[in-house]
């Protein structure tokens, strides 16, 4: 399977030039439209990280900073500290530190996450070359870097791009360890795995699946007797284990992390699997997944065990987080490198067959042109998607709305992204009332919510109820009637409605 000829180059220099062009293009498309607001992909999750990073930045500023109003400093820090703790804020901390050097520019986060994802491509190429060939590695790299969904998602301000990069590096090191059996690679794999799982603990599923595949392929008894196996496992689990123990037992910051996470009843619902497939259709397309599974089966004993272990890990992950895998597309980001790696053996086998077709130069040239055209189309789709919307005017709307509310006056409401836009650009102390999806997930968990009692409890201490998503208010007629019948309208305008909770009728 290790064929020497590839479609794109005939020697080492051509290979390096090709890879350089690929990586420059991958970074370039991700930095396109750099300064637009992060509302193009899972805005709520991105603003969650943005609020944390801003709070950290303001906490780092010296008290003597004259250009920072005291109320803004207090608001930013309060918003950060009041937010739920999920993963360690690694990316947020890097961004906050960069704010101190370059100023508070939200687009700095895009540079970090884009760089992380593209850096992951280096390790994916190295790993794909080991389990297939240079042909397979090139195609796997192109798929990973130029898939339109991956381009958009890898720019987003959340821990997933860093997690995917570290996950791929850990997979590469584990495969090298299994091939060499040396302490160097065992320690490297353990450290990289530990870093990936620390950044976001769901990385444990594909990493553990791949590790189990390698252990079973080698032999369970032999692997258990090997001290390297145990050191690798300990290093992989130690960072996140210490973080979780501290957060649950000492600080209490992670006490609610596991609430509303597990819904095994969905396993019996056929709609769950249809929704999950729909997510995958929008991410990679179902055709590449089928080809990837075929490639994993044809890769050879050790390689198949490794790749099928990856797929098993993703499957267990999806079943564990059944609700989120079928409703949140970014939960399936790890499937992109899994698909890319899995169909690389199939590409290598195809290249071997095509080497027998004459004239060989014409075959290689035709395939190279076809591949370049596909990548061009992918890049164009991503560019159009990024250029389609311009969110640069949005902050002004939210700032003006925050001024109407008084910024520091506590409020509750139904606004975009659970209040995150109003909190970030409006500098507003805002909590969110239930969306209909929040009520649905509580129904799945068997939690009965009495809306009247919950509403009365939630508005305590709040001055305003703010609505910028009228359709969400319409979907809850009981709450809508309560507001209109019992509370006067404080202000209304184009795109917003404010009820005064302090002077009930």
**476-494: per-residue pLDDT in tens?**
999 999 999 999 999 999 9
Clarify whether residues 117 and 174 are in a common domain: yes
Residue pair 461/434 in contact by the 8 Å Cβ criterion: no
Q: Give the pairing type, strands 496-500 and 489-493.
A: antiparallel
CA dihedral sign, ordered 65, 66, 70, 75: negative
For residue 254, being part of any structural domain is answered with: yes
For residue 313, being part of any structural domain is answered with: yes
Clarify whether residues 222 and 267 are in a common domain: yes
- Range of lowest pLDDT (106-110, 259-263, 289-293): 259-263
How many structural domains comprise the chain? 2
Clarify whether residues 379 and 398 are in a common domain: no
Query: 388, 418, 447: which is the final residue of a domain?
Result: 388
Instruction: Give the span between the Cα atoms of 44 and 50, in whole angstroms.
Output: 10
Query: 388, 419, 435: which is the final residue of a domain?
Result: 388
For residue 405, being part of any structural domain is answered with: yes
pLDDT in tens, 108-139: 999 999 999 999 999 999 999 999 988 899 99
For residue 87, being part of any structural domain is answered with: no
For residue 4, being part of any structural domain is answered with: no
Q: What is the mean pLDDT of the chain?
A: 91
Clarify whether residues 381 and 398 are in a common domain: no
Clarify whether residues 384 and 398 are in a common domain: no
Clarify whether residues 323 and 407 are in a common domain: no
Clarify whether residues 313 and 400 are in a common domain: no
For residue 460, give its domain range. Answer: 394-500
Clarify whether residues 150 and 200 are in a common domain: yes
The pTM score is: 0.93
Complete edge-to-edge strand list for the sheet that includes strand 430-432? 430-432, 411-414, 464-467, 496-500, 489-493
All residues at 6 or more sequence positions from 79 whose CB lies less than 8 Å from its CB, including other chains = 51, 54, 55, 423, 429
For residue 412, being part of any structural domain is answered with: yes
pLDDT value at position 463?
A: 96
Clarify whether residues 427 and 374 are in a common domain: no
Clarify whether residues 443 and 375 are in a common domain: no
pLDDT value at position 310?
A: 97
Clarify whether residues 278 and 179 are in a common domain: yes
Is residue 239 predicted with pLDDT exceeding 80?
A: yes
Clarify whether residues 296 and 420 are in a common domain: no
For residue 53, being part of any structural domain is answered with: no
* Residue that the structure tokens 């008290």 belong to: 63
Query: 360, 388, 416: which is the final residue of a domain?
Result: 388
For residue 466, being part of any structural domain is answered with: yes
């Amino acid at each position: 399977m290790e064929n020497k000829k590839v479609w794109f180059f005939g020697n080492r220099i051509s290979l390096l030039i090709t890879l350089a062009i690929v990586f420059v293009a991958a970074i370039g498309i991700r930095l396109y439209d750099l300064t637009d607001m992060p509302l193009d992909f899972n805005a709520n999750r991105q603003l969650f990280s943005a609020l944390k990073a801003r709070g950290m930045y303001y906490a780092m500023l010296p008290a003597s900073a004259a250009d920072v109003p005291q109320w803004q400093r207090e608001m930013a820090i309060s918003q950060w500290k009041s937010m739920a703790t999920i993963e360690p804020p690694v990316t947020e901390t890097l961004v906050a530190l960069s704010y101190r050097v370059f100023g508070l520019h939200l687009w700095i986060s895009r540079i970090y996450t884009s760089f992380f994802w593209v850096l992951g491509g280096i390790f994916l190429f190295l790993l794909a070359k080991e389990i297939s060939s240079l042909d397979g590695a090139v195609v796997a790299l192109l798929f990973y870097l130029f898939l339109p969904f991956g381009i958009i998602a890898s720019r987003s301000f959340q821990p997933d791009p860093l997690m995917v990069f570290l996950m791929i590096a850990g997979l590469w090191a584990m495969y090298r360890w299994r091939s060499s059996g040396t302490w160097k690679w065992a320690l490297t794999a353990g450290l990289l795995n530990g870093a990936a799982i620390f950044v976001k603990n769901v990385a444990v599923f594909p990493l553990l699946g791949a590790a189990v595949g390698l252990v079973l392929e080698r032999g369970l008894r032999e692997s258990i007797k090997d001290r390297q196996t145990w050191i690798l496992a300990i290093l992989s689990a130690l960072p996140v284990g210490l973080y979780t123990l501290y957060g649950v037992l000492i600080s209490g910051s992670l006490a609610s992390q596991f609430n509303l996470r597990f819904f095994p009843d969905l396993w019996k619902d056929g709609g769950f699997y249809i929704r999950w497939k729909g997510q995958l259709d929008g991410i990679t397309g179902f055709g590449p997944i089928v080809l990837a599974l075929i490639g994993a089966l044809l890769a050879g004993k050790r390689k198949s065990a490794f790749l099928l272990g990856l797929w098993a890990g993703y499957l267990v992950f999806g079943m564990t987080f059944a609700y989120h895998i079928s409703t949140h597309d970014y939960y399936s980001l790890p499937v992109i490198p899994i698909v890319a790696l899995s169909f690389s053996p199939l590409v290598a086998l195809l290249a071997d067959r095509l080497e027998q077709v004459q004239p060989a130069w014409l075959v290689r040239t035709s395939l190279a042109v076809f591949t370049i055209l596909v990548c061009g189309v992918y890049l164009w789709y991503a560019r159009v998607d990024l250029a389609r919307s311009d969110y640069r005017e949005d902050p002004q709307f939210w700032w003006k709305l925050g001024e109407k509310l008084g910024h520091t006056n506590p409020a509750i409401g139904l606004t975009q992204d659970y209040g995150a836009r109003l909190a970030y650009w409006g500098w507003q102390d805002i909590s969110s009332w239930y969306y209909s999806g929040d009520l649905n997930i509580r129904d799945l968990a068997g939690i009965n919510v009495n809306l009247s009692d919950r509403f009365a409890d939630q508005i305590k201490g709040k001055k305003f109820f703010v609505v910028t998503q009228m359709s969400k208010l319409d979907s809850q007629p009981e709450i809508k009637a309560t507001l209109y019948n019992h509370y006067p309208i404080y202000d209304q305008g184009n795109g917003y409605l404010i009820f005064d909770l302090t002077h009930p009728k």
